[in-house]
């Protein structure tokens, strides 16, 4: 990757690490379900052989914290050691939809316990040799607030409380960022929020205003973190580091209507959306998740990379593209195998195969990006970044 990027490779491999409870009460653990917990080093090495030297992976808070301040770090230490042996870089999600059952997510105690957990995780990572860890405090605050606080589809199974949950999760992310920085001042942080476009369902002014309001709601979590919205939560500009956005084929739709397919007259190019985010925050950008299923994998990567180059040429400091999930994985609701990955599920001999069309397109895109002009994203105290406290 170019010297301006903090990542070792433009392309990152993202491991599905959701740990929430679904409607039937079952807790998901996608790291275990994909076998990544047992094969982390082999997974890292296999991706590195394909030119991917940076990863996005996750801690499992519910598994680690056995009681207030009582932690079993064996799962993290094993994965951190695997990354060290494979010589790859990891962005660690501290909370990916799941939390310990004994903590009330609506309470002040949730924020305090999460901050304590984050600080302790930073100390463990330091002991494992990561003095400047890469961290995503809470994954997809916006989606979690909608799915778990508005519709009740995932824990905490609330309805019409999405705004309250978003504030609570933002408060926890802010506290965790401060806690990690206290232990590791050189730490770097990413957000991972859905990047969406909502088109109006009609041509009248009311329809346009409603669609625009929904579209702008995607920025609320980052606005809270940097203190532009609800400053009483403790947000501050210097707490927003790299802005990660998650973008999938289903991320554009008509308000109250159906998904907009690529090529629809109302579909906004990804480069335009990335430009909008950069103009709003002036931070380095990372496509923190992107991918498609089945035969669409290679074609979707082709589209995203074409748009990424357009954005770079327009001056957007895009520093990474994360293939997510990089492993085929069991679906949240019915355990069907979702064929999204560059790598397959484990075979009976403990090996994973490479998806040939996806790998060929990845190699083609890596060649196209080689020597591409470096994004002007600056340093921690340079353009687009504010110094840590």
Give tens-digit pLDDT for 147-204: 999 999 999 999 999 999 999 999 999 999 999 999 999 999 999 999 999 999 988 8
pLDDT over 60 at 377, yes or no: no
Give the tens place of pLDDT for each residue, 316-373.
999 999 999 999 999 999 889 999 999 999 999 999 999 999 999 999 999 999 977 6
Q: Provide the greatest CA pair distance for the chain.
A: 60
pLDDT over 70 at 281, yes or no: yes
- Write the class of the CATH domain 11-369: alpha beta
Q: Is 33 helix (H, G, I), strand (E, B) or coil?
A: helix
- Rg of the chain over CA atoms, in angstroms? 20
Give the per-residue pLDDT at 381.
Answer: 31
pLDDT over 60 at 247, yes or no: yes
CA–CA separation, 182 and 172 (whole Å): 15
Give the per-residue pLDDT at 373.
Answer: 62
Q: Do 154 and 97 meet the contact criterion of CB atoms below 8 Å apart?
A: yes
pTM value surpassing 0.75: yes
Give the tens place of pLDDT for each residue, 46-90.
999 999 999 999 999 999 999 999 999 999 999 999 999 999 999
pLDDT over 50 at 384, yes or no: no
Convert 199-210 to b/e letters by CB count within 10 Å (16 or more is b): bbeeeeeebeeb
Give the tens place of pLDDT for each residue, 210-228.
999 999 999 999 999 999 9
Is the backbone peptide bond immediately before 325 cis, with ω within 30 degrees of 0?
Answer: yes
CA–CA separation, 99 and 206 (whole Å): 40
Lowest mean pLDDT among 258-262, 309-313, 344-348, 367-371: 367-371
CB-based burial of residue 287 (10 Å sphere; 0-12 exposed, 13-18 middle, 19+ buried)? buried
Reported as a pLDDT band with limits 50, 70 and 90, residue 135 is very high
Contacts of 13 by beta carbon, 8 Å cutoff, 6+ apart: 47, 52, 54, 55, 56, 322, 323, 326, 342
Residue 108 tokens read as 């002040």
Give the per-residue pLDDT at 374.
Answer: 53
Q: Is 253 helix (H, G, I), strand (E, B) or coil?
A: strand
Convert 329-352 to b/e letters by CB count within 10 Å (16 or more is b): bbebeeeeebbbbbbebbeeeeeb
Reported as a pLDDT band with limits 50, 70 and 90, residue 107 is very high
Q: What is the mean pLDDT of the chain?
A: 94
Give the per-residue pLDDT at 146.
Answer: 97
Give the per-residue pLDDT at 383.
Answer: 31
The end-to-end CA distance of the chain, in Å, is 29
């Amino acid at each position: 990757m170019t010297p301006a990027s903090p990542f070792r490779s433009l392309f990152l491999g993202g491991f599905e690490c959701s740990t929430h409870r679904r409607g039937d009460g079952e807790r998901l653990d996608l790291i275990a379900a994909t076998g990544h917990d047992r094969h982390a080093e082999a997974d890292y090495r296999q991706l590195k052989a394909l030119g991917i030297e940076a990863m996005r992976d996750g801690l499992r808070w519910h598994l680690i914290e056995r009681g207030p301040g009582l932690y079993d770090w064996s799962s993290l230490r094993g994965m951190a050691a695997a990354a060290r042996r494979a010589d790859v870089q990891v962005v660690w999600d501290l909370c990916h939809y799941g939390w310990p059952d004994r903590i009330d997510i609506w309470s002040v105690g949730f924020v305090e316990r999460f901050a304590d957990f984050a600080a302790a995780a930073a100390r463990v990572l330091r002991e494992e040799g990561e003095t400047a860890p890469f961290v995503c405090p809470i994954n997809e605050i916006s989606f979690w607030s909608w799915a778990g606080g508005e519709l009740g589809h995932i824990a905490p199974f609330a309805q019409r409380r999405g705004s309250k949950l978003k504030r609570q999760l933002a408060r926890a992310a802010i506290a965790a960022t401060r806690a990690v920085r206290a232990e590791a001042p050189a730490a770097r942080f990413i957000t991972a929020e859905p990047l969406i476009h909502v088109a109006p369902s009609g041509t009248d002014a009311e329809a346009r205003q409603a669609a625009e309001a929904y579209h702008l709601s995607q920025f609320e979590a980052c606005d809270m973190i940097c203190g532009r919205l609800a400053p009483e939560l403790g947000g501050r500009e210097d707490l927003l580091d790299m802005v990660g956005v998650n973008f999938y084929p289903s991320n554009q739709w008509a308000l109250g209507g159906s998904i907009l397919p690529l090529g629809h007259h109302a579909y906004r190019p990804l480069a335009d959306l990335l430009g909008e985010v950069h103009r709003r925050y002036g931070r380095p950008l990372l496509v923190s998740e992107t991918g498609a299923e089945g035969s669409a994998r290679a074609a979707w990567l082709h589209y995203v990379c074409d748009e990424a180059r357009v954005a770079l040429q327009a001056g957007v400091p895009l520093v990474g593209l994360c293939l997510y999930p990089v492993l085929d994985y069991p679906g949240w609701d019915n355990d069907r195998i979702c064929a999204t990955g560059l790598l397959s599920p484990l075979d009976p001999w403990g090996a994973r195969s490479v998806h040939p069309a996806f790998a060929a397109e990845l190699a083609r895109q890596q060649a196209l990006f080689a020597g591409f002009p470096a994004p002007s994203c600056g340093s921690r105290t340079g353009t687009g970044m504010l110094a840590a406290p």
